[in-house]
A and B are shown apart, each in its own frame.
Chain A
Amino acid sequence: MGDLSLAELQTLLRDGSFALQTGTLLSRISTQFADVARSLHVLYAHHPYQIAPDFADFHVEVRQPRNIRRWFRRQAEFLIDGDPPFEPLPRNQAPAFLEWGLNWSIAASCHQWFTIHAASLERNGFVVILPAPPGSGKSTLCTALALRGWRLLSDELTLINPQSMTASALARPINLKNASIDLIREFEPASVWGPETYDTAKGRVTHLRPPIDSVERMLETAQPRWIVFPRYSPGSDPLLTPRAKAQTFIHFAENAFNYSTLGETGFDVVGSLVDQCDCYDFTYSRLDDALEVFDWISSGAAP
């Protein structure tokens, strides 16, 4: 999108002809909102795009809802194929709403992949998967790794091809919230950010532009090699411990978006993933320590 001015992007978004490529997916996006256009222009500056393609995986829109409420409180709604899967959100959350809506669209419909709620990054041809509940420091750690030499595949949705057992990339912006935003701003002052949104259900949120190398290589798949469950614990020294495989299996089965949908295939994919990956729990409090541990993991030296 580097060749596209903000004004040109706004025009394309207004007439619904803009289509953004993230990984192998093409999303046709429509909006009248200037702040959504600005956010896309900043966050996806390195991504390829198409104008009025014959086919797109998703047709989405962020707009003002057509209900009576719009007259006394401004709102935004997200639509896919003309239908709103969610209730509207306050108008100032529109840029983030588009990101969350795109996440949902992929998780709800891309069953060509086994899709797990987890971050994934690649180094030297191998992928580390970071599954974790909210508040575990997953996105913060994922961001630090992506800013220090690991290739970002995704911060929210890990996509596994059931046939090849490889992970595919989306290379979309990283969603950070609350104290993590300030931590990463300090960690990498040159990082580029979308607009901050306050008072969301998650608190203060924003998105970080993915590193250009991750975007340029977003069509490269890679083999999962490690599964690491991070846990941020203030004041703790870094601690990496092997994790039970059966326990890891159950976590994946419970936290995948389409485990039940894929049935036997889902069982086979999780079983193969757990077989082919070393599984760890990782407690940390300082990003520099964590980076050192992940360097160690990727060097093949971890137990």
Chain B
Amino acid sequence: MIEAGRFLVKQWLDGSAIFDRQLGDTHALDPAASAVFLALEKGAGERSALIATLSPFYPEATQQDLASRLDDLLEQLTTLGLVTADTN
């Protein structure tokens, strides 16, 4: 999940920049990571919805590949402090 109002986002076709208002850090995301982050920010919580968000970036990938890529991206976003695990 993403804390409401914590982040500022600038998005372009080739990626996005995220500013963490709480820590003052800036992060650059590639287009796929950016799409997942924005989907989470808009409240998408279902895994299937996030996989669907990723699919345009990897048109050749199987559902299993996409699920694996999503796990990697979520781990990256969590490591960067952009996303926290929903414990509810």
Interface, chain A (partner B; CB < 8 A):
244-247, 249-250, 253, 259-260, 263-264, 267-268, 270-271, 274-275
Q: Total A-B pairs in contact (CB under 8 Å)? A: 44
In whole angstroms, how far apart are the Cα atoms of A249 and B16 in the complex?
9
> Whose C-beta in chain A lies nearest to the C-beta of B14?
A244
Q: Which residues of B contact A250 (CB under 8 A)?
A: 17, 26, 28
Instruction: Please pick, from A249, A260, A263, the residue contacting B17 in the complex, using a CB distance under 8 A.
Output: A249
B24, A263: Cβ atoms closer than 8 Å = yes
6 tightest Cβ-Cβ pairs between the two chains A and B:
A246-B15, A271-B10, A245-B12, A267-B19, A244-B14, A249-B17
Q: Which residues of B contact A246 (CB under 8 A)?
A: 12, 14-17, 28-29
Give the total of B residues in contact with A, Cβ under 8 Å: 14
Q: Which residues of B contact A259 (CB under 8 A)?
A: 26
Minimum CB–CB distance from A262 to chain B (whole Å) comes to 10
Interface, chain B (partner A; CB < 8 A):
8, 10, 12-17, 19, 21, 24, 26, 28-29
In whole angstroms, how far apart are the Cα atoms of A260 and B17 in the complex?
15
In whole angstroms, how far apart are the Cα atoms of A186 and B14 in the complex?
42
> Whose C-beta in chain A lies nearest to the C-beta of B10?
A271
> Whose C-beta in chain B lies nearest to the C-beta of A252?
B17
Instruction: Please pick, from A244, A247, A267, A274, the residue contacting B26 in the complex, using a CB distance under 8 A.
Output: A267
Instruction: Please pick, from A245, A247, A264, A274, the residue contacting B19 in the complex, using a CB distance under 8 A.
Output: A264
